[in-house]
Amino acid sequence: MTAPARTPVPAVRMTGIVKRFGAVLANRDAGIEVAQGEIHALVGENGAGKSTLMKILSGMQPADAGRVEVGGRDVTGWTTAQAIAAGVGMVHQHFMLVPTLTVAENVVLGREPVSVGTFDRARAVRDVEELSKQSGLVVHPERLVADLSVGEAQRVEILKTLYRGARILLLDEPTAVLSPPEVAELWGVLRRVRVAGTTIVLITHKLDEVMNVTERITVMRHGETVARMATSETTPEGIARAMVGRDVRLGGGAPASAGAAAAKPAGEGLAVHNLMVRGARVEKAVNDISFSIAPGEILGIAGVEGNGQTELLEAMAGLRPVTAGSIAIGGRDVTGASVRARGDAGLSHIPEDRHNRGLILEYSVADNLILGLQHRYVKGASLDRAAIEANAAKQIAEFDIRPANPSLAVRALSGGNQQKVVIARELSRDFAALIAAQPTRGVDVGAIEFIHDALRRARDAGKAILLVSAELREVLDLSDRVAVMYGGRLVVTLPRSGANEDVLGPYMTGARREVA
């Protein structure tokens, strides 16, 4: 008699997970099962409980209830050190690297090779160089982390995890700050380490990534696991429907309608002329750039990050000095104006770095919703708390910020809900021109739909909008005109009808240049 085939033991099985943070129920009866050696997607709206579930798996947080198994062994309540020792490693959305140390020093930090009682630097360099070659995560071990691109820093984070022997790799939004070529490179790396036996759980909001690189999907909503599916048996629309609980329009937005275009006021809503801006390591990070945006128009700037976009945006927002040239809002020169003066002149700004430029993490949601506008919420000699709370209640409801608690420190929110706080504040103020930098970075599909619609409504209401995004699809979906920035210059500007991924790609990589 033939013995029945044994069911393979899953790499990860989590069942009945419950996790509370005070009054907030982050996970309720949540679970996930991941097969050995597969790439598995964990998806859901912002605040659905995905990161909390993975932090429990990685030992960063204990569950209040439920069971965690790794390789068939009950590890419920284990510590981070125990998880790492068992081969579970988590790469977080916000990098945890020491900028002043080298790549090799960051990778071995805490597990430094020692010779004769002292740190063996040469061995660390050799070990990291060898691991880099084996994994395909190419980065020079003796470079300072401060000098790396975002994509290179991402490689170092993964190398750190692999160096500690990770066989189960948890990746939280790994492509949120990567350019398209860097994303393609990362997928190649993950496929190679998967073939070598590594199990990968991928937290992402990007459904094209889910479809391209994963085998199975777990969907969470409001802290619960609501669906499990094979990638080959579903569609992006089906995944989005499970995530949000309704049909979601995925991209494909149109430029301004004919009626809206006809209603555009004449003139320049936002303009720069012959702008020159110095960078931290480059004399001409922005090199003689000129463009103007009409009221009722979105100009989208595409390009691989690191080509001067950050310096351009910071100079326009008043956060970085201008070497030469001018900036104007509605025809009014604001080149030397303060950030507050630019706001009073009608400029609103969604910064690309929400933590360093958009929020004060220790402040409440309510107080973050008036940052830069405090002078409008004064009663007598102090802030008008009643007005601040009323504003918070309105914005939380309109922008679906979760949890809906205005007194909660914004640090306690998920990354996507932190972004919603920034979006709510900047789109709700009285503005004539808007700088929108990476407006949907780390945001779920339902919120992306909402933010895109809000930007289109602002455009159709006569606002001049500069959109800068590493997501080329986002630029193409929203823009009336598209420009490409490369090497600190605008190398081409095209009407939306003449722009697509094939046309723009060579300009983004520098293979083709026609200075706009």
Q: Which tokens go with 297?
A: 């128009």
Q: What band does 506 get if pLDDT is binned at 50, 70 and 90?
A: confident
CA distances (Å), origin 241, targets 27, 227, 248, 249:
20, 11, 6, 10
Checking if the pLDDT of 314 tops 90, the result is yes
**Cβ neighbours for 352, distance < 8 A, ≥ 6 positions apart:** 309, 310, 313, 437, 438, 441, 468
Checking if the pLDDT of 258 tops 50, the result is no
CA 86, CA 441: separation in Å to the nearest integer?
A: 32
CA 139, CA 103: separation in Å to the nearest integer?
A: 8
Q: Are 205 and 445 in contact (CB under 8 A)?
A: yes
Which of residues 5 and 494 earns the better pLDDT score? 494
Q: Which tokens go with 117?
A: 């009682």
Checking if the pLDDT of 259 tops 50, the result is no
The closest of 257, 210, 204 to 93, measured between CA atoms, is: 204
Which of residues 424 and 189 earns the better pLDDT score? 424
- Write out pLDDT tens, residues 149-178: 777 888 899 899 999 989 999 998 888 767
Q: pLDDT at position 71, please? A: 95
Q: How many residues does the chain have?
A: 516
DSSP 8-state class, residue 232: G
Q: pLDDT at position 262, please? A: 39
Q: What band does 263 get if pLDDT is binned at 50, 70 and 90?
A: very low
Q: What band does 491 get if pLDDT is binned at 50, 70 and 90?
A: very high
**pTM reported for the whole predicted model:** 0.72
Checking if the pLDDT of 45 tops 80, the result is yes
Q: Are 329 and 430 in contact (CB under 8 A)?
A: no
- Burial of 238 (C-beta count, 10 Å sphere; 0-12/13-18/19+): middle
**Cβ neighbours for 247, distance < 8 A, ≥ 6 positions apart:** 237, 240, 241
Greatest mean pLDDT among 179-183, 254-258, 364-368, 448-452 lies in: 364-368
- Write out pLDDT tens, residues 369-391: 999 899 899 988 899 999 999 99
Task: Please tell me the number of Cα atoms within 13 Å of 286 on its side-chain side.
Answer: 25
Q: pLDDT at position 224, please? A: 95
Q: What band does 261 get if pLDDT is binned at 50, 70 and 90?
A: very low
3-state secondary structure 451-473: HHHHHHHHHHCCCEEEEECCCHH
Kindly state the helix (H) or strand (E) to which residue 48 belongs, with its residue range.
none
CA 436, CA 467: separation in Å to the nearest integer?
A: 5
List domains and CATH numbers for the chain.
12-244 (3.40.50.300), 268-378+386-509 (3.40.50.300)
- Write out pLDDT tens, residues 55-105: 999 999 999 999 999 999 999 999 999 999 999 999 887 778 999 999 999
- Write out pLDDT tens, residues 392-408: 999 999 998 988 999 99
Q: pLDDT at position 239, please? A: 94
Averaged pLDDT of the chain: 89
Average pLDDT for residues 2-10, to the nearest whole number? 70
Which of residues 505 and 42 earns the better pLDDT score? 42
Least confident of 105-109, 336-340, 443-447, 469-473: 443-447
Q: pLDDT at position 182, please? A: 74
Q: What band does 256 get if pLDDT is binned at 50, 70 and 90?
A: very low
CA 4, CA 370: separation in Å to the nearest integer?
A: 65
Average pLDDT for residues 226-237, to the nearest whole number? 95
Q: pLDDT at position 350, please? A: 96
Checking if the pLDDT of 251 tops 80, the result is no
Which amino acid, one-letter code, is at 63?
A
> 3-class SS at 491?
strand
